[in-house]
Amino acid sequence: MPLSPIIDRLGRTLRGRNALLNVFELWVGLAGILTGIVFVYSGLSIESSAIDIAVGREVALAWNIGYFMAGVLIWWGLLRPSPRMETVALWGIGTSTAIEAIAVGAVFGVRGSVSVLLLSSLTAAAWIRATIVLHAALQLSLESAGRARGAPQ
């Protein structure tokens, strides 16, 4: 795929009505992508280490793959644009950060409370955003169907 359409779409995503939310989403998605890359190169990261200790290596591996995929899907969903994939990614990111919060809480206890709070907030933000995008897309779909049925002949 040539680069210029991607840059064009990125520009539109960053200039649109929900520009700030989109930037935040892209940033969160980038965190997932970077965590996945770090895990592939080093086999360790702060996030997956906590899950490794709290739950197990297999869950940590699955978590890394899921977090990475959610990050990629956020970028894909926003740049394509595909609200469906974006919503799926937001559910995935929210789940990943929630599991991370549980793991950090289990391993570090009170010392990790700030991280737990931040990760929980991120989970809430991702899931709320996913719900809003889902409802908006469904509403748009219903309105489109209504317009198509009620259009003058």
User: Which residues make up the interface to other proteins (CB under 8 A)?
Assistant: 54-55, 59, 80, 82-85, 87-88, 91-92, 94-96, 98-99, 102-103, 106, 127, 130, 134, 137-138, 141, 144-145, 147-148, 151-153
Q: How far is CA 127 from the centre of its chain?
A: 9
Is 43 or 135 the residue whose CB approaches other proteins more closely? 135
In whole angstroms, the minimum distance from the beta carbon of 46 to other proteins comes to 17
Is 39 or 41 the residue whose CB approaches other proteins more closely? 39
Is 26 or 103 the residue whose CB approaches other proteins more closely? 103
The widest CA-to-CA distance across the chain, in whole angstroms, is 67
The C-alpha atoms of residue 57 and residue 75 are separated, in whole angstroms, by: 27
Total Cβ atoms within 10 A of residue 71: 25
The C-alpha atoms of residue 60 and residue 87 are separated, in whole angstroms, by: 23
In whole angstroms, the minimum distance from the beta carbon of 41 to other proteins comes to 25
Is 113 or 144 the residue whose CB approaches other proteins more closely? 144
The C-alpha atoms of residue 74 and residue 83 are separated, in whole angstroms, by: 9
Q: How many CA atoms lie within 13 A of 126 on its CB side?
A: 28
In whole angstroms, the minimum distance from the beta carbon of 92 to other proteins comes to 6
In whole angstroms, the minimum distance from the beta carbon of 30 to other proteins comes to 20
